[in-house]
Amino acid sequence: MKHIEIYDTTLRDGAQQEGISFTVTDKLKIAQKLDDLGIRYIEGGWPGSNPKDTEFFARAANLKLKNAVLVAFGSTRRVEAKASGDAGLQALVQSGALAANIVGKSWDIQVRRVLETSLEANLEIIYESIAYLKSKGLMVFFDAEHFFDGYKSNPAYALRTLEAAAGGGADCLVLCDTNGGTLPWEGAEAVKQAAKKLDCPLGIHAHNDSDMATAVSVAAVKAGAVHVEGTINGYGERCGNANLCSIIPALQIKLGLRCLTKAQLSKLTDVSRFVSEVANLPPVSNLPYVGNNAFLHKAGLHVSAMAKWGESYQHIDPDLVGNNPMIVVSELSGKSNIIFKAKELGIPMPPRGKEARMILDQVKHLENLGFQYEDADASFELLLLRSQQGYKPPFSLVDYMVVVERHRRLPSAYDIGSELLAEATIKVRVEGRVMHTAAEGNGPVNALDQALRKALLEFYPGLSKVDLIDYKVRILEGSSGTGSLVRVFIESSNGRVQWRTVGGSTNIIEASWLALNDSMEYFLIKLDKKSRR
């Protein structure tokens, strides 16, 4: 089986994405995770360009890497300097990394206008820079910047830059689609021509400005490249880099090439989500292979087929990349969605009875009122449980009242010194008793929450562990102004498990109550049975 080297540049190129700012500790954690995944080369940063990257290489010496080689990134020597005296090349040598990747110009126009030197001088710069690093015992990759644009402009010269790098002793020549404008067949043709001209391993480094980075990378491998550079989740400047989370399974599962072991490949989804968490970015749900929605099924026709044959609407087995299929329920669903979800949750649901149809009709009715169950599994599970004969809720609402008062101290509509008071009074029936309580809060929903807990804690002390960790309100139809239908999502946690509930109404307090009621009821039914007296 042909082996493809995977080279990750999340810690440098990926960190150039807007909104990402890794600390040194973040970078060390990610490097360890990438090593566990089986990545062959991890580019740690550009030592000498900033204190953070210099510190990273100093501290990375203590990492116990089993699979990966750390790579220091830099540039060819400056036009006016000698390789032996160039500060950038010296920083690569002093980084302690076993390998270096240096970027050099391969587009004739860039050489003249940006580097401001002659084409021949640029060839000397490339050759001397690589030869110097090789003389210091480093493995050297050459990133041929703007190679594909250079190949279009002046193919002979673009290839000469590769020859200069190979002559200097480069271990791999990486063809870069720096501006991200290359189409897959253009990239493949350029790689083929480079392979004919040079007896040196070729690599690909693509950017995603045309949404083609994955396709260009795969096409380059088909054309002869044996080394692929990219980032986790496609992070990177502008539109991002080639996404290794798509490229690796495409090469390994679709083309039968080896990038990782099967066990390592099954960690891909976990690594994707780990890196997004460290980057403090929400996971992109619709990422191929590793996204939450990559194997999500909503349409009734699809779910019906999935129940009969798992491959009917999935291009691969999700287990291969450590992901899971997901069935969601909505107004677009059919009975099969209901039956599938009930089976998944262990709730009896006859496949040929009327129960599933009744619940589906109820879902469609409630979604028309503002509910949405595909992002609120806890509320949907309660919907199924409440349909079961003999189901008894742990508590039931009798009534509630919420009052919000504002005492103005100054004659201004924007008086931030005003005192606000929110108070909720609630009656709930618990174990045959009606509990009548009141509580204040920093808003009407918080007051309702406090009043409900006050009524229930005597019976269910485990509720003290439950925290509301997210609260979202969405206006569904703005044509009615402040009287519009709203949807409220509440996400709750007991410190170990998280669950989401939903409520819908034209009254934001009522929508909030419905989601809050479901949150408490779900916890007591599913997660805290032992706390009942």
- Burial class, 352, CB count within 10 angstroms (exposed 0-12 / middle 13-18 / buried 19+): exposed
Q: How many helices (H) and strands (E) does the chain have?
A: 18, 16
Locate 501 and state its tokens.
């509930």
Domain limits, CATH 3.30.160, in the chain: 395-459
Segment holding 360, helix H or strand E: helix 355-368
Per the document, the length of the chain is 533
Locate 136 and state its tokens.
């210091």
Locate 476 and state its tokens.
């569904």
| C-alpha–C-alpha distance, residues 491 and 327, integer Å | 20
**Architecture field, domain 5-278:** Alpha-Beta Barrel (3.20)
**Structure pTM?**
0.74
Contact 326, 289 (CB under 8 A): no
State the CB neighbour count (10 A cutoff) for residue 47. 27
Per the model's pLDDT, the better-predicted residue between 296 and 19 turns out to be 19
CA dihedral 31, 12, 278, 276 (to 10 degrees): -110
HSE, CB side, 13 Å, CA atoms: give it for residue 523: 30
126-140, 147-161, 325-339, 480-494: segment of lowest average pLDDT: 325-339
Strand pairing report for 486-493 and 498-505 = antiparallel
CATH class of 395-459: alpha beta
pLDDT tens by residue, 130-170: 999 999 999 999 999 999 999 999 999 999 999 999 999 99
Residue reference for tokens 């009122």: 369
**3-state class (DSSP) for residue 217:** helix
| C-alpha–C-alpha distance, residues 373 and 159, integer Å | 57
Locate 125 and state its tokens.
């710069």
pLDDT value at residue 299: 55
Per the model's pLDDT, the better-predicted residue between 510 and 528 turns out to be 510
175-184, 283-292, 294-303, 482-491: segment of lowest average pLDDT: 294-303
Locate 113 and state its tokens.
């206008």
Q: Is the pLDDT of residue 123 over 80?
A: yes
Domain limits, CATH 3.20.20.70, in the chain: 5-278
| C-alpha–C-alpha distance, residues 135 and 527, integer Å | 63
Show the beta-strand stretches assigned E in 252-334. Answer: 296-297, 326-327
Query: What residues pair up with 404 in beta bridges, in sequence order?
Result: 422
Q: Is the pLDDT of residue 207 over 80?
A: yes
| C-alpha–C-alpha distance, residues 513 and 499, integer Å | 16
Per the model's pLDDT, the better-predicted residue between 355 and 148 turns out to be 148
pLDDT tens by residue, 163-194: 999 999 999 999 999 999 999 999 999 999 99
Residue 6, CA distances (Å) to 50, 177, 215, 261, 278 in order = 26, 17, 16, 12, 21
| C-alpha–C-alpha distance, residues 173 and 163, integer Å | 9
Give the list of residues 6+ apart from residue 212 with CB closer than 8 angstroms, or none.
Answer: 180, 182, 183, 184, 206
Contact 144, 177 (CB under 8 A): no
Instruction: Mark 253-289 as b/e (b = at least 16 C-beta within 10 Å).
Output: beeebebbeeebbebbbbbbbbbbebbeeebbeebbb
Contact 45, 53 (CB under 8 A): yes
- Burial class, 45, CB count within 10 angstroms (exposed 0-12 / middle 13-18 / buried 19+): buried
Of the candidates 246, 249, 245, the one whose C-alpha atom is nearest the C-alpha of residue 215 is 246
pLDDT value at residue 352: 66
